Structure 1
Amino acid sequence: MTTHPAETVHASLWEEPCDDPWWVPGPDSFAACALSVSGRTVADARRFTRATLQSWRMCATVADDAALIVSELVSNALRYGIRKVAAGTGGTAQQGPVHPAWLALTRQHGGVLCAVSDGGVAAPVMGTPDPLAESGRGLQIVDQLSDAWGWTPPDHSGKTVWAALSSRG
């Protein structure tokens, strides 16, 4: 089931990431990590998701589904949401720092909410890819694996795309 723009507060995830990109502030109900733009970010996010859900004693099926959902959400954030902030100096535009992106996991009533915040200002679009296309099915996968998914309305700081899964086993 798809849920479209939802009002949530995600500004707290936009603070500058700490030197250690993996940050787990809560002992057993919330975990978050900063996302880099490296080639191993998606794999790191999957490992972080699996390790977190294992520590929360979530069933393996939910952990597998969550890891795949996180892979798709992080891939989309890297492709469409991470942007350089232009900084003008003396009339010339220079590339500034990369707008940060975050992955957050929250345990809720036996399920989990996966959320990826990025600097993109466009709402996600679930397209219909060509049957022979190698990409373009990420949100369709998220839609099939989650109980509900959606996003916060994009603003100057970006958006958060989220997916909720309940325990099934």
Structure 2
Amino acid sequence: MTAHPAETVHDALREDVSEESWWMPAPDGFAACALSNSAQTVAEARRFTRTTLSGWRLAPDVTENAALVVTELVSNALRHGIRAGEPDDAPVARGFSVVSAPVCPAWLALTRQETSVLCAVSDAGTDAPVVRSPDPLAECGRGLHLVDRLSDAWGWTPPDHSGKTVWATLPLRG
């Protein structure tokens, strides 16, 4: 089931991040991590998801389904949501001076709810996700179909000048 777009606020996940605090787990079923635009980002997001959900003692099949969904959401954020040429370090205004600070092009957040787990990826892209008709010979174009199949619901916040969040909820039942 797909819901397009969601009326939620995602700016809370867009705080500046320092290298020492690239992720923040919490005992109440919420965890988030900053995503870079490096080649290892998708694998790191998958590992973060598996580690977090295993720590919450969710069923292995739920954990693996969430890892697949996160793989697709993060891949799309890196491919379509990060502005071209966005550097890893960019000048940031602090008071009266400008300093170089790490840029976080995207965020991954996981939230455990009563009957589901919410996976959300925020990025700076201002275009809504597009579900394409997959070409049988194409190497890409099936990701959102996979997200739709594995999730109870998915959608995105309305894109604005700060970007968007694409989210999916997965059932906790095994």
> What's the TM-score, normalizing by structure 1?
0.89
Q: Which amino acid aligns with 2:56?
A: W
Instruction: Provide the C-alpha distance between the structure 2 equivalents of 1:144 and 1:18, rounded to a whole number of angstroms.
Output: 36
Q: Which runs of 5+ in 2 are unaligned?
A: 92-101
Shift of 1:99: 5.9
Q: Which amino acid aligns with 1:140?
A: H
Q: How does 1:41-56 map to 2 (within 5 A)?
A: 41-56=41-56
**Which of 91, 115, 119 is the aligned partner of 2:120?**
115
Where does residue 93 of structure 1 map in the other structure? none
Instruction: Provide the C-alpha distance between the structure 2 equivalents of 1:109 and 1:62, rounded to a whole number of angstroms.
Output: 14
Secondary structure (helix, strand or coil) at the match of 2:26 reads coil
Matched residue count: 160
**Structural RMSD (CA):** 1.8
Secondary structure (helix, strand or coil) at the match of 1:112 reads strand
Secondary structure (helix, strand or coil) at the match of 1:163 reads strand
Where does residue 160 of structure 1 map in the other structure? 165
Instruction: Provide the C-alpha distance between the structure 1 equivalents of 2:167 and 2:134, rounded to a whole number of angstroms.
Output: 22
Shift of 1:167: 1.2
Where does residue 90 of structure 1 map in the other structure? none
Shift of 1:21: 5.5
Shift of 1:23: 1.3
Q: Which runs of 5+ in 1 are unaligned?
A: 88-96
Instruction: Provide the C-alpha distance between the structure 2 equivalents of 1:106 and 1:152, rounded to a whole number of angstroms.
Output: 17
Shift of 1:166: 1.1
* 1:74 maps onto 2:74 in alignment: yes
Secondary structure (helix, strand or coil) at the match of 1:74 reads helix
Where does residue 33 of structure 1 map in the other structure? 33
Q: Which runs of 4+ in 1 moved over 6 A?
A: none
Contact 2:119 2:167 in 1 (8 A): yes
Where does residue 128 of structure 1 map in the other structure? 133
Shift of 1:43: 0.4
Instruction: Provide the C-alpha distance between the structure 2 equivalents of 1:23 and 1:99, rounded to a whole number of angstroms.
Output: 12
Secondary structure (helix, strand or coil) at the match of 2:33 reads strand
> What's the TM-score, normalizing by structure 2?
0.87
Contact 2:35 2:104 in 1 (8 A): no
Instruction: Provide the C-alpha distance between the structure 2 equivalents of 1:54 and 1:143, rounded to a whole number of angstroms.
Output: 23
Closer/same/farther in 2, CA of residues 21 and 137 from structure 1, 3 Å limit: farther
Where does residue 64 of structure 1 map in the other structure? 64
Instruction: Provide the C-alpha distance between the structure 2 equivalents of 1:133 and 1:98, rounded to a whole number of angstroms.
Output: 32
